[in-house]
Amino acid sequence: DVLNTMAGPFPALYKAIMPKLPKELASFFTALFTPLVFGFLVGPSGLNTTRDGRPFQGVTVQKCRFLAETGCKGLCVNMCKIPTQRFFQDEMGFPMEMRPNFDTCQCTLSYGITPMPLEEDVDVPQACLVGCQNLLQMGEASTDTCGSAGAGDSKLSPAIVTGSKVDSVTTSQSVATMERISGDAENDFPDFIDKTLALEIQEGDCVDMLKSMRRVPVTVPFSDKPVLTTVAGMSTEEAKSLGKHDSTPLVLLHGFDSSLLEFRRLMPALKAYPNLNPNAIDLLGWGFAKAEGEADSIGPKEKREHLYHYWKQYVKEPMILCGASLGGAVGIDFALNHPEAVKGLVLIDAQAYIDGVQTPPEFFMDIGLNVLKSEPLRQIANVQSYYDKEKYATKDAMRIGKLHTVLEDWKDYNKKWMQGGGYILSSKIKDIQQKTLILWGDSDKILGTDVATQFEQDIPSSELVWVPECGHVPHLEQADFTAKKLNEFAMSL
Catalytically active residues, by annotation: 325, 444, 472
Query: What is d(CA 432, CA 417) in angstroms, rounded to the nearest whole number?
Result: 24
Compute the distance between CA of residue 24 and CA of residue 450 in angstroms, rounded to an integer: 42
Question: Of 185, 193, 240, 236, which Cα lies nearest the Cα of 214?
Answer: 193
The DSSP secondary structure of 404-462, one letter per residue, reads GGGSTTHHHHHHHHHHTT----TTTGGG--S-EEEEEETT-SSS-SHHHHHHHHHSSSE
Q: Are 83 and 59 in contact (CB under 8 A)?
A: no
* Residue 17 identity: I
Pairing status of strand 342-348 against strand 436-441 = parallel
Q: 10-46 in b/e burial notation, b at 16+ Cβ within 10 A?
A: bbeebeeebeeeebeebbbbbbeebbbbbbbebbebe
Tell me how far apart the alpha carbons of residues 325 and 255 are, in angstroms, rounded to a whole number.
5
* Sign of the dihedral defined by the CA atoms of residues 279, 284, 290, 295, in that order: positive
